[in-house]
Amino acid sequence: MNPRHVLLALAVVLVWGINFVVIEVGLEEFPPLLFSALRFLLAAVPAIFVLGRPRVAWRYVIGVGLALGVAKFGLLFVAMDHGVPAGLASLVLQSQVIFTVLFAVLVLRERPRRTQLIGIGVACLGLLLIVVDSGLATPVGALLLVIAAGACWGVSNTVTRHAKPQDMLRFMVWVSAVAVLPLTVLSLLVEGPRADMDALRSIDLGGAAALLYLAGVATLFGFGAWGFLLGRYDASTVAPFSLLVPVVGMGAAWLLRGEAVGAQQAVAAVLIMGGMACTVIRPRVSRPVVTAPVG
C-alpha cells in the first residue's frame, strides 16, 4: 500500500473512532432511534440520486439494510443512550469479528483456521472481563445490546460477502436508504411522536453538527474511502486497519469525554484486539474477503 493510501486508511480509522464520541454527543439531543434514522436520511437519500441504482440484487440491499442499518445501529444507539460509554462501545462492538467468523462457518460452510478459533477464544475472554469489570457502572443489559449489535453486524457481513458488491459506496448508500423508514416507524412507536417532535424543534448547533458528521464524514467519506481501498488492495491488507478503530475510540472518549480506562479494561482491550487480529489478519495467499466497513 502506497503512503497516500496508508494515510487515507488512517484517516478513516480516525473518523470512525471519533464517531462514537459524536454519537454520544448526538444522543444528548435526540432519541436514539430518531437519531439513527436522521443520520441515514441525510447520508443516503441525496446520494442515491447521484450514484444511481445498486449493482447487486435487491434482496441483498434489503437484507443488509435491515441487519446493519436498523438492527445493528438501532441496538448500538439505544445501548449508548442507556449508559454504555463511547470508548467501551467502540471496543465491545468489535465482537462482530467473532460473529462474522461463526456465521461464515455455519452459513457459508467456511472452514475456520486454527488461529481464528484461538482468536475467538481470546476475544471472548476479553469480553467476559469487560462484563465483569463493568459492574454497576454500566448496565449489563445495555452492554448485552452492544454485543447483540455486533451479532447483527456479523449477519450483515455474511450477507455482504455473499453479495460481493463491486461498488461498496453505492451499496452502502442504498443500505442506508433502506434503514430510514423502519427506523422512523420504530422511533414513532417506541419513543413517541411527541419526543421526536420536541427533539426536532429544539435542535441546536451541537445536534446539527453531530448529524452532519455522522452523515457526511462517517458514512459518505468513511464508506467511500474504505470501498476505494478495498477495490485496490486485498482485504487482508486493508482490514487490519480496522483494529485501530477501538483504540482511537477509547482514546477520543478519554480525551474528549473524560472516560477513564481501568487496568482490567485495558487488559480486556488487549485481549479483544489481539483476538480480532488472529481472525482478520491472514496470509497474502488467502482469497480476499470483502466485509461491511466499520461505522
* pLDDT tens, residue by residue, 107-123: 767 777 777 778 778 87
Percent of the chain with pLDDT over 70: 88
Instruction: List, for residues 264-278, the tens digit of each pLDDT value.
Output: 667 777 877 777 777
Task: Report the pLDDT value the prediction gives residue 181, as an integer from 0 to 100.
Answer: 95
Instruction: Determine the Cα–Cα distance for residues 33 and 177; give it in Å rounded to an integer.
Output: 15
Distance CA 218, CA 18 (A): 9
113-158 confidence digits (pLDDT tens): 777 778 778 877 877 777 676 555 678 888 899 999 989 988 888 8
- Asked whether residue 285 carries a pLDDT value surpassing 60, the answer given is no
* 3-state class (DSSP) for residue 157: helix
Kindly indicate the confidence band of residue 293, based on its pLDDT and cuts at 50, 70 and 90: low
pLDDT value for 241:
77
**DSSP secondary structure code for residue 28 in this structure:** T
Q: What are residue 237's phi and psi, to 5 degrees?
A: -85, -40
Query: Contact at 8 Å (CB) between 279 and 116?
Result: yes
Count of Cβ atoms closer than 10 Å to residue 270 Cβ: 12
Is the model's pLDDT at 284 over the cut of 60? Answer: no
Residue 180, C-alpha cell as written in the block: 430510514
pTM of the model: 0.83
Q: pLDDT tens digits for 220-259? A: 898 888 878 877 876 667 767 777 888 888 888 888 888 7
* Residue 188 CB neighbour total at 10 angstroms: 15
71: helix, coil or strand? Answer: helix
